[in-house]
Structure 1
Amino acid sequence: MCNILVYDTTFYIRNRIKELVAKMDCTTVEVTTTQQLLASLSAPETVDLIIMDIMIPGEDGFALVKSISDMLHGIPIVILTSENKRASFVKGIQMGAADYILKPFEDDFLSSRIKEHVTKSKNRMTETREADKNIDLHQYLTRELIVAKKANYQVSLLFSIFHKNTKETSSSNEREYQRISEYLLPRLEDATFEQDLFVAYGSQSFIGVLPMCSEENRSLVDEKFIRVFSNLKLTNKALANYRLYNVFVTFPFDGETKDEIFSKLLTKTKYFMDNEKIEIVDI
């Protein structure tokens, strides 16, 4: 199941795409103005693919593509247009489009491109999450603990969980969590310092390694993350029912080796979740 956002002023084009993707077990959201497009993207985790023309009356379609690409991480944009110029093709890709397809189009060709982009997007997100979880995090933590021991400073680990009150565990919820995780990751990461590592860890959680963050400074980090999350909720309706929870441990007080401190973080997180009656898909 996938959701495709279609921005085109021509009913015939929108209807053809709608009929095509219906055969792929996908749904479409049709918009005819930039205002409608941006309103539909207020909950980006509900969108798997954007198909749009660049020939927009009174607007710079390329600038709009770049704006959406900069705003949304990981959602492919397919330009579908009659603008048949090599320079336009090059510019569209440079602005962040994943593909540039000409009108008129063959149904089979467009269907195959849609399937490919949706599949690649989901696979890339999964691969990135697993790479972050299994390689970068542990390597970075090991290195930072070695340096911290020599330089005699503290290192804190942060476990962040986003959660809403629901007992449902359907595939649609798991997909929602995945999209929200992808949306939150770069925005919460912006709240960390340059030397920090902040990665996705599971479907509803993140882990941060914060060098030189002492026990005393943990409350400041917690407040900053909660403030950022609260501001995001004001502009993203999909976050309305969610809360963000943060759990910390600090080297050397909670452990002196990578395995000790990482184990303490997971144990403390699970204890916190049990007390708060929080259930998430995975950790």
Structure 2
Amino acid sequence: MSNILLIDKTPSSYRIKEIAHKLNIGIYEASNYMQALNKANSLIETLDLVIIDVLLEKDNGFELIETLKKEHPFLPIIILTSLNTKKSFVRGIKLGVSDYILKPFDDETLINRLKKNMSHKNHIKTPERKIDFNSYLETELLKSSKGNYPLSIGLFTFYNNISGLEENLEEYYKAQNIIYKKFEKLFFETDFFTPYGSKYFLVVLPFCKFENVKIVKQKIIEYGSSLLKELGMNSYAISTSFVTTPNDGTKKNHLIDKLTNQLNSNTTNKTNN
């Protein structure tokens, strides 16, 4: 049986436990920093995933994630929270969490994310490549530096292009699953491509030069715009952001900051125009 450590004392925890039960997944629970750390350490041999709401009552959820990642770098962690800020999203990427899901969430979305991030046990199907993004990116940056070749990192999103129109998270979730499957075919086996959060996608392209990024961006925008029309999401648009080593730097945190700031600026400007 696959097992999850759940660190969430909000009403959402009951839905998570119901979903886990239907998938034949065991649930262990913790309510604070020390309890969560002790359980993770004692259960690590049988633990497949951690789900955490970073809005803990007394403790800092991000500090807990940082500690867990230091001690168990390949243990997948999903943030499931109502904290919807750019700062928290970026911090999640830097800490190497596998996913960032916003509350309220729909059951299908959580089921898909569980399947994506857990080991293949008891019919829980995951992608062939189970990769911790944080460790993967550190390794790829080191390889590109030693091999003296460029590495491009991209972040793109689909967003409501009409100013003042309320966002529909359920619509985002459903569209993201479809868009991910379609976009996956655009990239090579050597590339890394994954959905992140409710409406973002991360891509890492080894050997992609700075001058080639413009071509990749154009392909993403054209293909993405076509998909949005097919899905009837006519008020939505695609926005992209890319950084390339060594032109934009070589340090992971600096690159991620530049990437997210650039994307946030792009979407804000386009929405306001």
**1: CA distance, partners of 2:228 / 2:268:** 25
**1: CA distance, partners of 2:108 / 2:227:** 23
Alignment equivalent of 2:156, drawn from 155, 160, 165: 160
Unaligned runs of at least 5 residues, structure 2: 1-105, 119-126
Alignment equivalent of 1:142, drawn from 121, 138, 142: 138
**2: CA distance, partners of 1:192 / 1:225:** 10
CA RMSD in angstroms, aligned pairs only: 2.7
Task: Return the offset for 1:210.
Answer: 1.0
Aligned residue in 1 for 2:176:
181
Aligned residue in 1 for 2:187:
192
Alignment equivalent of 1:271, drawn from 265, 269, 272: 265
Q: CA separation of 1:163/1:122 partners in 2, compared to 1, >3 Å: closer, same or farther?
A: closer
Higher percent of residues as helix: 1
Aligned residue in 1 for 2:111:
124
Task: Return the offset for 1:177.
Answer: 0.6
How many residues align? The count is 156
Q: What CA deviation, in whole Å up to 9, does each residue of 1:196-249 have, x standing for no partner?
A: 111112212111111111110001111211222233245332x33221111111
Question: Does 2:210 match 1:212?
Answer: no
**2: CA distance, partners of 1:211 / 1:195:** 7
Task: Return the offset for 1:271.
Answer: 2.4
**1:54-133 mapped onto 2 (5 Å cutoff):** 121-127=108-114
Task: Return the offset for 1:160.
Answer: 0.8
* 1:226/1:244 contact within 8 Å kept: yes
Alignment equivalent of 1:202, drawn from 188, 197, 217: 197
Task: Return the offset for 1:188.
Answer: 1.3
Aligned residue in 2 for 1:98:
none
Q: CA separation of 1:124/1:150 partners in 2, compared to 1, >3 Å: closer, same or farther?
A: same
TM-score between both structures, scaled by the size of structure 2: 0.51
Q: CA separation of 1:122/1:275 partners in 2, compared to 1, >3 Å: closer, same or farther?
A: closer
Q: CA separation of 1:269/1:122 partners in 2, compared to 1, >3 Å: closer, same or farther?
A: closer
TM-score between both structures, scaled by the size of structure 1: 0.49
Q: CA separation of 1:194/1:156 partners in 2, compared to 1, >3 Å: closer, same or farther?
A: same
Unaligned runs of at least 5 residues, structure 1: 1-118, 279-283
Q: What CA deviation, in whole Å up to 9, does each residue of 1:159-217 have, x standing for no partner?
A: 111012253446xx111111111110121121112111111122121111111111100
Aligned residue in 2 for 1:15:
none
* 1:137/1:197 contact within 8 Å kept: no
Alignment equivalent of 1:221, drawn from 211, 216, 220: 216
Q: CA separation of 1:267/1:221 partners in 2, compared to 1, >3 Å: closer, same or farther?
A: same
* 1:154/1:214 contact within 8 Å kept: yes
